[in-house]
Amino acid sequence: MKLYSKPGACSLADHFVLQWTGQPFEVQLVCAAETKQPEYLKINPADRAVDRVTR
């Protein structure tokens, strides 16, 4: 699983929960400008909340 996280956003709580589960995951930090790029908008079209991608 990949967690997309923007520093200062609400994704910290999601990060903690994923750590507690013990399941493997990776964190991909994104800046505000990256969330407007077409590649990111394919994953999260609304750009409103933290997003994750499962493998």
Q: Where are the domains of the chain?
A: 2-53
**The pLDDT of residue 51:** 59
The architecture that CATH gives domain 2-53 is: 3-Layer(aba) Sandwich (3.40)
| SS3 state of residue 50 | coil
Which tokens is 26 given?
A: 């990776």
Taking alpha carbons only, the member of 27, 30, 9, 28 closest to residue 18 is 27
Residues 8-51: tens digit of each pLDDT: 777 677 888 889 999 898 888 888 888 888 988 888 888 766 65
Confidence band, pLDDT 50/70/90 cuts, at residue 6 = confident
Q: Provide the pLDDT for residue 49.
A: 62
The residues with which 53 forms a beta bridge, in sequence order, are: 2
E-assigned strand segments in the chain: 2-5, 26-29, 51-53
pLDDT: which is higher, 4 or 20: 20
CB 18 within 8 A of CB 54: no
In this prediction, residue 20 carries a pLDDT of 92
